Amino acid sequence: MLRIDEQFDAAGGPRLPSDEPGSFERQHHLVNRRRADAKILLHVGFGRRPAVQARVEVNKRQILALLRREGFCGATHAGHPIQLFVRASNEEEARMNVRYRVELSQTERAELTALLSGGRHAARKLKRAQILLAADAGASDDDIATSVGVGGSTVYRTKQRFVLGNLEAALSEEPRPGASRKLSCKEEALLVATACSKPPQGRARWTLELLAGEIVRLTEHDSVSRETVRRRLAENDLKPWRRDMWCIPQVDGEYVARMEDVLDLYAEEPDPKRPVVCFDESPTQLIGEIRQPIPAAPGQIERYDCEYKRNGTTNLFIFLDAHRSWRKVKVTNSRAAVDFAACMRELTDVDFPEAERIRVVLDNLSTHFPGSLYQAFPPCEARRVLRRLEFHYVPKHASWLNMVEIEIGVLRSQCLDRRIATPEQLVSEIAAWERQRNASGARIKWMFTTANARAKMGRAYPEPIGAKSPSAKES
């Protein structure tokens, strides 16, 4: 049973909405969505006089504006309330009969608009904000439910929580009932420790099923679901079925010296007489098709057979100028010392014949040393080439400091990410890619400097012996 108080007007009837000014505390509209008729009981009291009761037959589709006004004082019957009782078939029907009107303030409207304009928020919160803005604009509940993509009850509850509460109550989640956590704090710690330990014998890694069975074995639980294990691991950011391969370097004086030497080369101004060239090699496979692929057509993607033919391997020597848009790729059958020596002589005599000194950045492969030139050429020829070369080695396990590694990734993604069957086709395709990339002016923009290294890796730097302060003696 719903009760709403109303004031009399001067004629003795209930005062209905009009254009006259007045202060409103809250305005409700009562709507009954069923087709049957309802009986409305009017209970009217006039001071000490007996109350007058009357039943009025109305259609539940009608909208009765029920206003509660303050400060009204008519000529007669001032202060005598009309009590309106609406009888519904059940409590849920009576509750759903109330239609709440949303009237946002300018501040609330700006807050909702800012919420929808950007940032990461829960989808439910964004939908509630859309409901409130649409309701404030005068849209009907059915239109709001259709446009936002929610049910009518969601629209109703959002408007109800705003009218009876505030904007924060309308946007936030209510506490949801649910079962308590199955694992206690100690059991969760046991689960984490188990996931970080070695898997059982005969298994390569822990799985959710294995962990659930292990927790059942170690605790008094009769069963633990896979989802319970997954949630607890996710809370601790654990994925025991994944592994990353990482070479952990030893940051000592040699590591720091080589790193800063290479970084200082990258930071220098371009000098045609003393260019900086990054060098590395990369093996690649020659793979041919067993069956001819079916080319793409409108409405159908390209299709190829999973079976292929392996035609051997080749090696790619890659050169990259650190300060200008120039790169070169040389295809060879091997990467022995003589191949490395031939690349270095070609670099000095063909690629940079006018340079006085070529600074070459390279890794610590066994063939990347001056001795390889003496294995390939006579001593006088080897010495002639080496006089124009200056080798700068990156630290061990720090190939990321070699700028050419980035260029190798670009080459593989743009040109080699397919099946190439013959060395001739490989040479032709790489040459076309090389010409296009050099002509486009593309170059690597290196951002990591010596100052960045000292700031980010300062704690890993070795501490000079002379810088260690002697411990203070107790007096």
Separation in Å, CA 203 to CA 206, 209, 462: 7, 12, 41
Question: Could you give the percent of the chain with pLDDT greater than 70?
Answer: 77
pLDDT in tens, 4-62: 333 334 444 444 444 444 333 333 333 333 333 344 444 444 444 444 444 444 443 33
pLDDT in tens, 304-316: 899 999 999 999 9
Average pLDDT across the chain, whole number? 80
Separation in Å, CA 355 to CA 145, 164, 329, 349, 439: 73, 81, 20, 9, 22
pLDDT in tens, 177-219: 777 888 999 999 999 999 999 999 999 999 999 999 999 999 9
Q: And the tokens for 75?
A: 């000529």
Dihedral sign, CA of 96, 98, 104, 108? negative
Give the pLDDT score at 75. Answer: 37
pLDDT at 474 exceeding the cut of 90: no
Nearest of 273, 255, 293, 280 to residue 408 by alpha carbon: 280
pLDDT at 462 exceeding the cut of 50: yes
How far, rounded to the nearest angstrom, does the alpha carbon of residue 50 sit from its chain's CA centroid? 71
Nearest of 330, 314, 230 to residue 280 by alpha carbon: 330
pLDDT in tens, 335-363: 999 999 999 999 999 999 999 999 999 99
- Is this structure's pTM higher than 0.85? no
Please classify residue 318 by burial: count the beta carbons closer than 10 Å to its beta carbon, then call 0-12 exposed, 13-18 middle and 19+ buried: buried
Give the pLDDT score at 175. Answer: 76
pLDDT at 256 exceeding the cut of 60: yes
pLDDT in tens, 259-272: 999 999 999 999 99
How many residues does the structure list for the chain? 475
